[in-house]
Amino acid sequence: MTRAWALPMVFAVCGVLAAVVQVSSGAPGAAVALLLVFGLLAVMHSSLVFPRSIAAVEAQRRSAVDGRPIVYWRPGCKYCLRLRIRLGRNAHRVHWVNIWRDPDGAAAVRAAANGNETVPTVVVTGQAHVNPDPAWVRGQLSPPA
């Protein structure tokens, strides 16, 4: 859990320190701008921009029932973030598994990626795809009911 929040906390602390330096040098506008930039970086690299993660076993069970893809991801991964942004409103139509919170999810990714924890790994109908193109993933989603 702490590893998932380490990078966002570093961004937040650096933003506060940079803002303090700017305020002490008489530039409150620059301090606000720095806080906003570092705050945005912290949020973008946190778990907050992703839909709620579920356990790998539960994701596999749900995927077998509804046919939705499973995306194994981790916070701070720029490729996971790219996939999440490119899916947009369709992100809720995928089962998300945070491999830093779920050892079974991490094991599934290692099995698919030759022992590496390469994310995002997307499983569609039992077939794993390591770091697929976001457009391809969108094409795998069934039309909304």
**What is the model's pTM?**
0.75
Q: Give me the residue spans of the domains in the chain.
A: 5-48, 50-140
79: nearest Cα among 36, 137, 34: 137
The Cα 119–Cα 130 span in angstroms is: 7
User: Is the distance from CB of 81 to CB of 43 less than 8 angstroms?
Assistant: no
Sheet holding 70-73, edge to edge: 95-98, 70-73, 121-124, 127-130
Residue 1 has pLDDT above 80, yes or no: no
pLDDT tens string 68-97: 999 999 988 899 989 998 998 888 999 999
Q: What is the pLDDT of residue 32?
A: 94
The residue-averaged pLDDT of 7-22 equals 91
* pLDDT tens digits, one per residue of 36-62: 999 988 887 777 777 889 999 999 999
What is the CATH number that goes with domain 50-140?
3.40.30.10
**pLDDT for 9:** 87
The band of 98, judged by pLDDT with boundaries at 50, 70 and 90, is very high
Q: How confident is the model at residue 7 (pLDDT cuts 50, 70, 90)?
A: confident
pLDDT of residue 76: 82
What would the mean pLDDT of 103-120 be, rounded to a whole number?
94
